[in-house]
Amino acid sequence: MKIVDIIPTVMQAGAPTVTSWTGAGGQSALATGRNWLFVKIITDEPGLIGVGEGSGWPRVIHTAINDLKCELIGHDPRDIERLWQRMRIAMMGHGDTGVVGAGAITAIDMALWDIKGKLHSTPVWNMLGGKVRDKVRYYAHAKNAASAVKLVSNGVTTVKLGGHDGLVERVAEVREAVGTHIDIIVDLHGPPWLPAIDAIAIGKALEPYNLLFLEDPVAPEDIDGWKRVRRALPHTPLAGGERLATKWGAASLIESGVVDIIQPDMGRAGGITEMKKIAALAEARFIQVAPHSGSLGPVAEYASIHVMAAIPNALLMERLEPEWHGKAAVIHPALESSQGHIIVPERPGLGVDLVENFIAAHPSERNVSIATGGWQDAEEHGSTYFSMRRSRANLVSVKKDPIL
Ligand SMILES: [Mg+2]
């Protein structure tokens, strides 16, 4: 069997062109200029096509996949590990992969697993060792107590809050609103302006609220900072890894002993092949896996379910905007969920098809998403990732009006 073609397609998943599908500006986290990158791998077996998705930087991944074609066309799609290594070696001349290169590998690797599953008429999870579970718990994002209560009323068992201003107060309000049986996650986003000592102050202020985990208290590159946070917050589980690619990226946090949960991104960590290896590295250190989903489309969500179904140390997965109908529009069938869990699909391969005419009707127009506030001078303080170092009083304030 041979690969005869690889076709990447990038589409606009959110604004700037706001339609009834993308959602009104500001209403959807995806309506900030996100793209989704899907790939189809065509084989010489009639009708045997694999689908995948990469999420590192979709437009750049589109180019990377086209560049990688010459390394893959004519090769046997069943030799997934060998092709993974060919792709990685092909990128070494560019200085290794990063999340963009790993995003390209991810999309192709995912489609290869889809082909193999379809070839053997079995789900991907079955080829990864079989099912450990029939459903996978997910968490969704809440901005405040009202949105958390709405999610919980729809069956969600775990909510995540992010940002920094008024954070402690918002967590307190959410805890009071949802009760003690719902898990709460807080994401500090590891911005460059937040030093470990302030992340520790925030973490200590959050201790009474019994977090499921505190995510990215400092940047992934700041291993010394992570170690300081770890020592200072012995009772708070820590999670990180969304900005890291491949097993080697994940190993930097896992082997440092600073995380309780590793969060590789299913769209850019290196594919199903690499997620399984990262999970094994984590398992060896009694660390759990909670895949990140910053801008994942629905095909990568499918892949995540297969991996989470088959690994023993699956905690739960992030699901951005689970109730947004836009995800279901680009695939068939939609993922089935119930009571805060996604049901593990039983169909061969990934078990999902692209709705190609819908994807073609929403071409990519922009591929850079600047967080709230953009780069305008007057609004820099509103950005999660770019800011002057904030007032310490504001960071741990429980007052409604931030002290700026
Ligand atoms: Mg995060």
Q: How far, in Å, is the centroid of ligand 1 from the Cα of 261?
A: 12
- pLDDT, tens digit, for every residue of 245-282? 999 999 999 999 999 999 999 999 999 999 999 999 99
Tokens of 171: 């967590």
Q: How far, in Å, is the centroid of ligand 1 from the Cα of 189?
A: 5
Residue type, 314: A
Say if residue 22's pLDDT is above 80.
no
Predicted confidence band of residue 25 (pLDDT cuts 50, 70, 90): very low
Q: pLDDT at position 386, please?
A: 64
How many angstroms separate the CA atoms of 320 and 304, rounded? 13
Say if residue 205's pLDDT is above 60.
yes
Predicted confidence band of residue 190 (pLDDT cuts 50, 70, 90): very high
Q: Are 23 and 14 in contact (CB under 8 A)?
A: yes
Q: pLDDT at position 18, please?
A: 59
Q: How far, in Å, is the centroid of ligand 1 from the Cα of 242?
A: 6
- pLDDT, tens digit, for every residue of 48-84? 999 999 988 899 999 999 999 999 999 999 999 999 9
Give the mean pLDDT of 326-349: 93
Q: pLDDT at position 313, please?
A: 98
Q: Break the chain into its structural domains and give their ranges.
A: 126-354
Which H or E run contains 172? helix 167-178
Q: How far, in Å, is the centroid of ligand 1 from the Cα of 381?
A: 19
Residue numbers annotated as active site:
189, 292
CATH number at 126-354: 3.20.20.120
Query: What's the chain's average pLDDT?
Result: 89
**Of residues 372 and 167, more confidently modeled:** 167
Give the mean pLDDT of 351-376: 76
Q: How far, in Å, is the centroid of ligand 1 from the Cα of 344?
A: 24
Give the mean pLDDT of 290-319: 93
Q: pLDDT at position 375, please?
A: 45
Omega into 333 within 30° of 0, i.e. cis?
Answer: yes
Positive or negative CA dihedral for 397, 399, 400, 401?
Answer: negative
Say if residue 381's pLDDT is above 90.
no
In Å, what is the CA distance from 87 to each residue of 20, 36, 101, 105, 403?
39, 21, 9, 7, 50
Q: pLDDT at position 19, please?
A: 63
Could you give the angle at which helices 246-254 and 223-232 cross, rounded to 10 degrees?
A: 40
Reported pTM: 0.93
Say if residue 311's pLDDT is above 70.
yes
Q: How far, in Å, is the centroid of ligand 1 from the Cα of 239?
A: 9
Q: pLDDT at position 143, please?
A: 87
